[in-house]
Amino acid sequence: MATWKLKTDSETLFYHLCSDCTERSAESLLQAGWKKIRDNEPVSCNECTRKCVLTSNSLWAADEETRYAVCTKCAELSMCPLKGRYFC
């Protein structure tokens, strides 16, 4: 994942985006003052996570069968790095 950084007077913000989201958003991020500081961070994409049904419905604590059933219905499953699974 690409890591983007924005430093304001009061805080420093970080934003992680997968390559597809970076491709879609890079120009607007740069115009807003964000700087891409590195690639290949082992984190989840902030935009993809925001759209994730498991995240939006607080289902990450559900049993595996429930998580996998929810993910199976997801149109973005083929691009998802987690697919309902936990990784250390």
Residue 41 pLDDT > 80: no
Whether 43 is in a domain gets the answer: no
Residue 65 pLDDT > 90: yes
**Residues 16 and 3: beta-carbon distance below 8 Å:** yes
Claim: this prediction has a pTM higher than 0.75: no
Overall domain count for the chain: 2
Reported confidence tier of residue 87, pLDDT bands at 50, 70, 90: low
Are 31 and 59 contained in the same domain? no
Q: What integer is the mean pLDDT of 58-65?
A: 90
Whether 25 is in a domain gets the answer: yes
**Residues 56 and 65: beta-carbon distance below 8 Å:** no
Residue 35 pLDDT > 90: yes
Reported confidence tier of residue 88, pLDDT bands at 50, 70, 90: very low
**Residues 75 and 51: beta-carbon distance below 8 Å:** no
